[in-house]
A and B are shown apart, each in its own frame.
Chain A
Amino acid sequence: MQRVLPLVLLVLLFSGCCKRTTLILLPDDTGTAGEATLHTEKGEMVVNTAYTQTSVGASGTLPTPAIAIAPEKVQKKYGKLLAAQPQSPESFILYFEAGGTSLTSESEAMLPVVVQAVQQDAPVEVSIIGHSDTQGNADFNYALSLQRAEIVHRLLFDLSPFMERVSVKSHGEKDLLVQTADEVSEPRNRRVEIMIR
């Protein structure tokens, strides 16, 4: 028994009590990096440059200061994980003629491209999301955005009746493409977004 005890302690030591939690900030699809924070009971550390890392070992300690890690090193250490990333969700944005529910001719020409993308990327989920600008009250904008999304759904359904897992939603004026104050007419915010995930 006396011999077993040190062994047990050794096993405990290497099996979880001393795991390291490491946070590495990566650039997104557009090449820009945001910000992430590692918190423990003792404090927090922010990483806000691509390819910097912070980590924490034993419980309750302060995270290590942020230091750079070479992209090649990340690739070498986490290559399999990086390669396993699925394709990022893709959004198509369709615009409407002012005041109405008919698509601009450019946007109408996009519909077959959307159908093709849905078929190519299976399995997928598709959201058709109506958006408005901030002019008018929120309830009206919600209803109008939903109406536009339903029209796009019908047009897509006409092209491809077998499209599954499609949901039709409205975000009204709560999810602007171009940030504006309230009561601002902005054509780029009057849109229907087709998100293929």
Chain B
Amino acid sequence: MKRIWIVCMLVFSATLVNAGEMQDQDIGFLKSKTGTVALIRAGLERSVEPGQHLFVTDTIVTGPQSSAGVVFQDGTVLTLGAVTSIEMQKYLFNPKEEQYGFEFYMKRGELIYSSGKLGKLAPEKINVKTPRATVGVRGTRFLLSIR
């Protein structure tokens, strides 16, 4: 019985480590900002400066009269306007294995999406979610506002 417990614990911790690896993957960085920009990671919120690395599952929040420029590994650029919140949900850019994905949830605010290599190589894998609707895209730039 004890042995079963140990096996269970090992399996459980292995899944934890795996999940951790996925979440710690560097997917892009904060390129520019004005005003206040906060990053929520693992439930902790802190203000961030340009150069900050971003991971999958990070949430980025801008304050009033603020903005943030985020650049991803494939060259996709997101510009967030004031009082905007986005939660990254998926980012996969692995041309060798042809694995692609780009998904985030925009709760409120306004942003400009500007396509990178993902928009060219796998537009069908790009999915922007909002409370009322989702946006699909084919290699382009668009503005999205929830006001």
- A and B from one assembly? yes
CB atoms of B114 and A38 under 8 A apart:
no
Per a CB cutoff under 8 Å, which of B114, B130, B137 touches A88?
Answer: B114
* Residues from chain B with Cβ under 8 Å of A81 in the complex: 67, 79, 81, 110-112, 143
Interface size, chain B (Cβ < 8 Å): 50
Chain B, interface SS category: strand
CB atoms of B141 and A56 under 8 A apart:
no
CB atoms of A85 and B134 under 8 A apart:
no
Per a CB cutoff under 8 Å, which of A34, A47, A86, A171 touches B31?
Answer: A86
Report A154 CB to chain B, min CB distance, Å.
Answer: 22
Query: How many angstroms between the C-alpha atoms of A78 and B112 in the bound complex?
Result: 10
* Residues from chain A with Cβ under 8 Å of B31 in the complex: 86-87, 123, 197
**Contact A125-B29, Cβ < 8 Å, known A27-B141, A81-B79, A84-B81:** yes
Chain A, interface SS category: mixed
CB atoms of A35 and B145 under 8 A apart:
no
**Contact A127-B73, Cβ < 8 Å, known A34-B137, A172-B96:** yes
Q: Does chain A have a CB within 8 A of B85?
A: no
Bits for B60-75, please: 1 = Cβ < 8 Å to A, else 0: 0000000111011101
Give the residue name and chain of the A residue nearest to B142 (CB).
A36
- Specify which of B111, B131, B134, B145 lies most central, judged by the most chain A CB atoms within 10 Å of its CB: B145
Query: How many angstroms between the C-alpha atoms of A80 and B79 in the bound complex?
Result: 11
Q: Does chain B have a CB within 8 A of A97?
A: no
User: Beyond A36-B142, A38-B135, A197-B28: 8 further Cβ-contacts under 8 Å?
Assistant: A19-B108, A19-B131, A19-B132, A38-B133, A56-B133, A81-B79, A81-B111, A125-B29
Which residues does A use to contact B, with CB under 8 Å?
19-28, 33-40, 47, 56-59, 63, 74, 78, 80-82, 84-89, 91, 123, 125, 127, 142, 170-172, 174-175, 195, 197
What are the nearest 3 A-B pairs in CB distance? A34-B140, A86-B69, A84-B67
